[in-house]
C-alpha cells in the first residue's frame, strides 16, 4: 500500500469516528430529555400537549361564534348577505365554475343557475343612497341639449326677396303701375271704338307709383354667465341656431302684423287686404272657403295661413253642401303637409285663434317684397356692468324691410267687385 492510499484511509476513518461520537452524544441527550423536561416543568409532556390542544379548541369555538354573530342577518331582514353568494373573495370560484360548466356541456352549478335566473344574493351595499354605496356610481351627462325644434319653413321663404345691393342699407325705390281704384288691371289704359274723323275724348291715362323700402336695424340678444360659456361646449354650437330661429320667427310675425313704423309693414289689416264675412260666428265652413277663393287674383301661388290647434279640427270635419267631407281627397297626404281645395296649408303660431279676424287667410306672398340690408353680425359684449356681474351678452344685428307693394285691392272691369292677393276671413 502506498503512502497516499494509507493517508486517504486514515482521514476517512477519523471522519467516521468523529460522526459516531456526535451521534452517540445526540442519542444520550434525547434519552434524558423527557426526564429533564419533567423535572423542569413538573408535568408530563403528553399532558402539556393535551392542555394546549384544549385551549386552542376553545379559542376556535369562540372565534366561530363571533363570526356567526357578525354574519347573522338583522331582525326583520328578508335574508342574510351570503344567502346565495360565493363570499367576499369568491370571484375566482365563480369564474372556475363558469369554466367548468363550459367543459361539462353547459351544465352549471346550482349557484350559477340562480344567478342566471336573477336570484342574486342581496348585499347591504346598494346605489339607492350615497352612504350605502351610491357615491361609487357617479352621475353622467349627455352632451345633447333637449329642445323643441323650430319650424324649418317660414313665410319669408314665400315672399319676393330683393337683392341687398350696394350699399346694402340704402333705400330702394321701385316703379309700379298704379292699378288701384277705377284704373283696374291695365292701369287706366282706355280701349275704345272710334268713328272716322271724330275726336277722341281722353278720360284717363296710366299712372305710376313708387314703392320704397329702407332696411331698418333689428337686434336680438341673450345673456349667459362667463362660467357657462367657458365650461359648456354645447353652448358654443347653440348660439347660432337659437338666434337664427328667433329672428326668422320675428320676421314671420312682422310680415303679417307689422305696423310699418320702424319695422315691416304687414299685409294684415293693410288697405290691399280683402275681408270676407264669416257665415257662422267662431266657425269656418265650406261656404267661407268658397267666398274667400272667389276674391283672390286669378293667377298666383297661394297658401292658406292658420294655426293648427283650433283650425285643423274645423277643416278635417268640414262638409260641403251635399254633406260630403271635403278633406277626404287630400287626407292621404296626411296632416303635416295637407292641401285645402287644392291649395297648400301653411300652419303657423302667429295666426289668430279660431273666431278672431284673420284666423284663416288666403295669400300670395309673391306680392310681398323684402329688402335685406347688412347681413347678420353676432357680437359679444362684456362692458363694465356685465364684467362686474360675470355676464356676457350675445347680440345679433341685421337690417331689413318688407311691405306689400299693392296699396289697395284691384277693382274688376265691372267697377264693383274687387280682388286681392291678400284675403282674410273676418270675425
pLDDT tens, 277-331? 999 999 999 999 999 999 998 878 999 999 999 999 999 999 988 888 888 655 5
Return the pLDDT at 234.
59
Average pLDDT, the chain: 76
111-125, 176-190, 223-237, 281-295: segment of lowest average pLDDT: 111-125
Return the pLDDT at 397.
86
Task: State the residue for C-alpha cell 269656418.
Answer: 284
β pairing state of 274-276 and 422-425: parallel
For residue 334, pLDDT beyond 60: no
For residue 76, pLDDT beyond 60: no
For residue 351, pLDDT beyond 60: yes
HSE of 262 in the Cβ direction (CA atoms, 13 Å)? 3
6: part of which helix (H) or strand (E)?
helix 3-31
- Give 188-234 as a DSSP string: T-------TTPPPPP-----EEEEEE--EEEEEEEEEEHHHHHH-HH
Written as nine digits, the cell of 88 is 367576499
**Alpha-helix runs per DSSP H in 271-363:** 286-293, 308-316
Distance of CA 396 to the CA centre of its chain: 24
pLDDT tens, 150-173? 655 688 889 999 998 889 999 999
Task: State the residue for C-alpha cell 280683402.
Answer: 274
Written as nine digits, the cell of 242 is 337659437
Return the pLDDT at 79.
44
Q: Is the dihedral of CA 141, 144, 150, 151 positive or negative?
A: negative
160: part of which helix (H) or strand (E)?
strand 160-161
- Within 8 A by CB and 6+ apart from 44, the residues are 38
pLDDT tens, 12-32? 677 667 766 666 666 666 666
Write phi, then psi, for 318 (nearest 5 degrees). -70, 140
Q: Is 381 helix (H, G, I), strand (E, B) or coil?
A: strand
**Max intra-chain CA distance, the chain:** 182
pLDDT tens, 253-271? 999 999 999 899 999 978 8
C-alpha span between 31 and 33 (Å, rounded): 6
57-61, 177-181, 233-237: segment of lowest average pLDDT: 233-237
At 104, the pLDDT band (50, 70, 90 cuts) reads: low
At 98, the pLDDT band (50, 70, 90 cuts) reads: low
CB–CB of 300/364 below 8 Å? yes
C-alpha span between 306 and 347 (Å, rounded): 5
Query: CA–CA distance from 50 to each of 45, 55, 124, 317 (Å)?
Result: 9, 9, 43, 103
**Average pLDDT for residues 79-83, to the nearest whole number?**
43
Q: Residue 224's closest CA among 242, 209, 206? A: 242
Burial class (CB in 10 A: 0-12, 13-18, 19+), 23: exposed
At 83, the pLDDT band (50, 70, 90 cuts) reads: very low
For residue 333, pLDDT beyond 80: no
Q: Is the dihedral of CA 32, 33, 36, 41 positive or negative?
A: negative
pLDDT tens, 177-192? 887 766 666 666 666 6
- Region of 35 (left: φ > 0; alpha: ψ -120 to 50; beta: rest) is alpha
Return the pLDDT at 92.
63
Q: Which has the higher per-residue pLDDT, 133 or 382?
A: 382
C-alpha span between 220 and 200 (Å, rounded): 60
Q: Which has the higher per-residue pLDDT, 68 or 331?
A: 68
pLDDT tens, 6-17? 555 566 677 667
- Within 8 A by CB and 6+ apart from 206, the residues are 177, 178, 183, 186, 187, 188, 189
Amino acid at each position: 500500500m502506498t503512502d497516499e492510499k494509507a493517508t486517504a484511509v486514515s482521514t476517512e476513518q477519523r471522519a467516521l469516528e468523529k460522526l459516531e461520537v456526535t451521534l452517540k452524544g445526540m442519542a444520550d441527550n434525547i434519552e434524558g430529555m423527557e426526564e429533564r423536561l419533567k423535572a423542569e416543568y413538573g408535568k408530563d409532556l403528553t399532558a402539556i400537549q393535551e392542555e394546549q390542544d384544549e385551549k386552542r379548541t376553545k379559542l376556535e369555538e369562540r372565534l366561530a361564534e363571533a363570526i356567526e354573530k357578525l354574519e347573522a342577518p338583522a331582525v326583520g331582514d328578508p335574508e342574510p348577505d351570503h344567502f346565495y353568494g360565493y363570499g367576499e373573495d369568491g370571484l375566482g370560484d365563480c369564474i372556475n365554475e363558469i369554466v367548468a360548466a363550459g367543459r361539462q356541456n353547459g351544465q352549471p352549478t346550482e349557484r350559477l343557475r340562480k344567478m342566471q335566473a336573477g336570484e342574486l344574493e342581496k348585499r347591504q351595499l346598494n346605489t339607492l343612497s350615497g352612504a350605502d354605496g351610491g357615491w361609487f356610481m357617479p352621475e353622467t351627462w349627455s352632451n345633447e341639449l333637449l329642445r323643441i325644434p323650430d319650424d324649418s319653413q317660414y313665410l319669408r321663404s314665400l315672399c319676393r326677396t330683393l337683392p341687398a345691393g350696394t350699399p346694402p342699407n340704402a333705400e330702394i325705390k321701385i316703379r309700379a303701375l298704379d292699378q288701384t281704384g277705377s284704373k283696374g288691371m291695365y292701369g287706366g289704359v282706355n280701349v275704345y271704338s272710334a268713328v272716322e274723323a271724330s275726336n277722341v275724348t281722353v278720360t284717363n291715362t296710366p299712372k305710376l307709383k313708387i314703392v320704397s323700402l329702407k332696411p331698418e336695424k333689428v337686434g336680438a340678444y341673450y345673456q349667459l354667465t362667463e362660467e357657462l360659456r367657458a365650461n359648456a361646449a354645447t353652448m358654443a354650437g347653440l348660439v347660432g341656431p337659437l338666434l337664427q330661429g328667433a329672428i326668422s320667427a320675428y320676421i314671420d310675425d312682422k310680415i303679417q302684423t307689422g305696423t310699418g313704423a320702424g319695422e315691416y309693414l304687414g299685409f294684415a289689416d293693410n288697405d290691399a287686404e280683402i275681408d270676407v264675412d264669416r257665415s257662422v260666428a267662431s266657425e269656418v265652413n265650406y261656404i267661407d272657403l268658397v267666398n274667400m277663393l272667389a276674391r283672390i287674383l286669378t293667377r298666383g301661388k297661394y297658401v292658406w295661413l292658420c294655426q293648427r290647434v283650433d283650425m285643423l279640427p274645423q277643416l278635417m270635419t268640414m262638409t260641403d253642401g251635399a254633406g260630403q267631407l271635403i278633406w277626404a281627397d287630400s287626407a292621404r297626404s296626411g296632416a303635416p303637409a295637407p292641401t285645402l281645395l287644392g291649395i297648400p296649408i301653411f300652419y303657423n303660431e302667429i295666426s289668430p285663434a279660431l273666431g278672431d279676424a284673420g284666423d284663416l287667410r288666403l295669400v300670395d306672398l309673391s306680392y310681398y317684397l323684402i329688402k335685406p340690408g347688412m347681413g347678420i353680425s353676432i357680437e359679444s359684449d362684456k362692458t363694465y356692468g356685465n364684467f362686474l356681474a360675470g355676464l356676457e351678452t350675445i347680440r345679433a344685428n341685421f337690417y331689413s324691410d318688407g311691405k306689400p307693394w299693392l296699396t289697395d285691392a284691384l277693382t274688376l272691369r265691372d267697377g264693383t267687385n274687387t280682388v286681392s292677393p291678400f284675403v282674410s276671413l273676418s270675425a
